[in-house]
Amino acid sequence: MRWKILVVLFLTRASMAFQFAALGAMGPLYADRLGISLAGLGTLIGLYFLPGIFVSLPGGTLGARFGDSRVVVAGLTMMTLGGAAMAAAQGWSAQVAGRALAGAGGVLLNVSMTKMTADWFAGAEIATAMAVFINSWPAGIALALLVMPALAATLGLAGALWAIPVLTLGGLFLMLRFYRDPPVTGGGPPRGIAPRGAALAAITAAGLAWGLFNAALAMVFSFGPISLVERGLPLIQASAATSIVIWAVMAAGFSGGVIADRTGRPLTVLFGGTAVMALAMAAFPATAHFYLMLGLIGLATGLPAGIYVSTAARGLAPEERAIGMGIFYTVYYVIFAAAPPLGGYLIDATGSSGAAFLYGAAMLAVTLAALAASVALQRGLAPEPSR
């Protein structure tokens, strides 16, 4: 039953990733239509996660009080309405409002679904389950990179934008029709309480690491197509080439969780994959073998992706998960909302998209330090993280 539930969570969350990445996939077309700079495009991309700063913690609290699945349904409704507003209106103000509404819904979905996965798989194959769950994100992004430029070329930008709320509406149907809450043991669901002390510090550091890790990856799929257009590729081919990263993330991500569970060494995969990703991103602007480097970035990103969240969840008691994951995602969204605009600014300032990749590599160096702090703080908490 739990693996069927995981499929529902995977497909539903993939619709959120599709919505987030759709603008970047059509970046030059979208920027030209609105008459904005790449920094402006980055601002609109990052706006999707800006509500997370304010909504993540309340979202975790609401999930603890009213039920996670109800919060997810509310989030999907907001995503659909926000996407429809962006498709129906052309002005900048309408785009900003629709993007913010959709992003707020996505935050509710992300916080609650992470806890739902942890609840279904707590203590058994959690690294594998989280790897599958987390890979819904690159799956949705890859689909957007492949589909959206072609839809824009066929239907026009306005027509392509309607594909976004249609997909999130499909996620809403899946949740209402197929999702079930996990069986409750021990006399009822645990009361939601806030983590304290070392657990609070550990989940905060884990959120910082997860935010920086994803912000670095966002440099690739947000500005990768633009970088390849600079090298002479047509937009559709450039978006398809960038999707190599996402397909490699998914291929490695599934195996990364299995390796972590089978070997009992999740932290080795976590730190090793992050370090290789940083080196590959730093090398990307200087190499002509961009297909090879994009594949390496994807493989190095995918291996530790699910382990980031499963490692964070291990430091939380069951009754701390709802609010704890709210704190985790609050920190994550603070980082993620700020990163794309700065990446776009660096490209505008330097005249080269390679600046965004170097910026991503620098963020990953800080990620390693945050990870080390989080793991150190978890020592002494039960259960102690694996090596």
User: Is residue 105 assigned to a domain?
Assistant: yes
Give the CATH number, domain containing residue 109.
1.20.1250.20
Segment 293-297 long-range contacts (CB within 8 Å, at least 24 positions apart): 294/220, 294/224, 294/241, 294/242, 294/244, 294/245, 294/248, 295/244, 295/245, 295/248, 296/248, 297/220, 297/245, 297/248
- Taking alpha carbons only, the member of 270, 339, 360, 255 closest to residue 43 is 339
- Taking alpha carbons only, the member of 314, 333, 374 closest to residue 56 is 333
pLDDT digits (tens, 9 = 90+) for 318-356: 788 778 888 998 898 888 777 767 877 887 788 777 888
The pLDDT of residue 101 is 96
Q: CB of 293 within 8 A of CB of 285?
A: no
pLDDT digits (tens, 9 = 90+) for 193-232: 888 888 899 999 999 999 999 889 888 877 788 788 888 7
pLDDT digits (tens, 9 = 90+) for 58-97: 888 888 788 889 999 999 999 999 999 988 887 788 889 9
pLDDT digits (tens, 9 = 90+) for 189-201: 455 688 888 889 9
User: Is residue 210 assigned to a domain?
Assistant: yes
User: Is residue 387 assigned to a domain?
Assistant: no
User: Is residue 383 assigned to a domain?
Assistant: no
pLDDT digits (tens, 9 = 90+) for 245-281: 878 888 887 788 788 778 888 889 999 999 999 999 9
User: Is residue 384 assigned to a domain?
Assistant: no
Query: What does the alpha-carbon distance between residue 206 and residue 328 come to, in Å, rounded to a whole number?
Result: 7
Number of structural domains, the chain? 1
pLDDT digits (tens, 9 = 90+) for 153-170: 888 888 888 999 999 999
Tell me, what DSSP letter sits at residue 386?
P
The domain containing residue 33 runs over which residues? Answer: 2-378
pLDDT digits (tens, 9 = 90+) for 11-53: 999 999 999 888 878 877 777 777 777 667 777 887 887 888 8
Q: Annotate the chain with three-state secondary structure.
A: CHHHHHHHHHHHHHHHHHHHHHHHHCHHHHHHHHCCCHHHHHHHHHHCCCCHHHHHHHHHHHHHHHCHHHHHHHHHHHHHHHHHHHHHCCCHHHHHHHHHHHHHHHHHHHHHHHHHHHHHHCCCCHHHHHHHHHCHHHHHHHHHHHHHHHHHHHHHHHHHHCHHHHHHHHHHHHHHHHCCCCCCCCCCCCCCCCCCHHHHHHHHHHHHHHHHHHHHHHHHHHHHHHHHHHCCCCHHHHHHHHHHHHHHHHHHHHHHHHHHHHHCCHHHHHHHHHHHHHHHHHHHHHCCCHHHHHHHHHHHHHHHHHHHHHHHHHCCCHHHHHHHHHHHHHHHHHHHHHHHHHHHHHHHHHCCCHHHHHHHHHHHHHHHHHHHHHHHHHCCCCCCCCC
Calculate the alpha carbon distances from 285 to 72, 136, 239, 289 in Å: 39, 28, 17, 10
